[in-house]
Structure 1
Amino acid sequence: MAHPAHASEEARPQESPQATATYLYGVLPADVELTPEDRGVGDPPGRTALVRHGEIAALVSELHPDRPLGRPQDLMAHQSLLDDVAAEVPVLPMRFGAVMESPEAVAEELLAPHHDEFRAALQELEGRAQFVVKGRYVEGAVLGEVLREEPEAAALRDQIRGLPEEATWDARIRLGEIINQAIEAKRDADSRALAEALAPHAVAIMVREPTHEEDAAHLAVLVETARREDFEDALEECADQWEGRITLRLLGPQAAYDFVPGPG
């Protein structure tokens, strides 16, 4: 695994008699040491290595082009490797599936033209990490709120109760529209409230799109690692306030996927 160091030898993917490509995970400071591991993408997993140029380096592994990517295991390997590195040193994550012809192409076509830009971005990430906060409405809780707050919804619910679906089709459609609109409005309000509560303890916050119809909030948060405890305390306060209504889950630390321009 990568970790800070004052000096380190150049690492290269192992040579292979077969034609290979170079898979890219991210860009990190050049002054790190890397423990090569067989945990990259591909089957079998590729061995990780560094390609250096100046003060930056690309985390890569060898990839056999005749073994196409796309398995869930490949995406998990990509993210897991980046997140583990990000826990130790700043890293600019590449998008999943970024491949170049060779280590030389990585140095000449990616690192050299963007050296100063990448170095500055890495300096901005020093001592920071991304976390993801996901909120999910407790089953039945938000529906109960909608029925209490929307008289039309409550009336429609009573109207269709006990009747066959085909006889109440229009009413059911209208009820679904009201519920969906109300939950969307609640999600927007709850996301803003959560972001405001966490903002004093964060460098930046991005609101992500929901991934489930019962999502209450989905935030990416960039946090100073020195203030992580304050951030987690604030999140715990929100969880206590929303007990029985919204459950909160914290993921991270992760690579700063949401807060850096993708280098690839």
Structure 2
Amino acid sequence: MNASLQPPEHVLNTFGLTSHPPIPMGDSWLGGWRVGEVVLSLVPDHARAAWSASVRESLYVEGLRIARPFRATDGRYVVSGWRADTYIAGSPEPRHDEVVAVADRLHEATAGLDRPRFLLQPPAPPHTDVDVFTAADRAAWEDVPLRSARGAGMAEPSSEDGMRSVEIIKTLGTLRKPVDLPSQVVHGDLFGTVLFAGAAAPGITDIVPYWRPASWAAAVAVVDSLAWGGADEGLVHRWADQPEWPQMMLRATMFRLAVHALHPRSTAGALPGLERVVEIVRLLV
């Protein structure tokens, strides 16, 4: 997906956004384009984008700013692969405990949502980013880690760090114990996407849906913060009252390692941070 691609004229017209020139947002808003008080973004998956928009249209979470979808003039959420959202101010900051607190509040509000049908679909070629994340998510829970990826014909990692990731996943898989927690709709990508603007309430621009226990999604945010956000190890222990926390941290780490092993754009530089988390998690379980 080319985040630098400017929204075409017909998309601007269909959303009724012709009064202002599009301004690139850079890394915030995942490379979207601001047009007045609206941000246009390319979507990796139409079904997920439309689902996220329909949920965010009416979702209320106390102490959280939520970017609302901006519908096209014909009522659509997505036009030619572009979605539009109301602009909310802010940028990602290393306020890691606040991100986990956002996860808790958000998932209380999403607990009653139905499971989206697209989350039941297995990865299928030609593989997109969505398929990679689906296979990686399943790798942490299925009896034989990465079985779904192999069954879908995904390429085995050939790089040294990719093969190392697979080795670690297999080892961590032996530390899993059964957990009895309800699954629900959760946002599985909060790290780096929660927007902060001074003392204003934190904001989110999207919901990246998974069907997992709420504490797993909090654990993913903690794993990411430890691996790449410079968070202190105390973050793990400050949130240790989350249900089945050691096992959720274990599965969140396996998930991120599986993304690293399977994603064609993974870089070797991402693995050392994950290996740091592995050592923390081994002590935890």
TM value normalised by structure 2:
0.26
Greater Rg by CA: 1
The structure showing larger relative contact order (alpha-carbon pairs under 8 Å, at least 6 residues apart) is 1
More strand by share: 1
Q: TM-score, normalised by structure 1?
A: 0.27
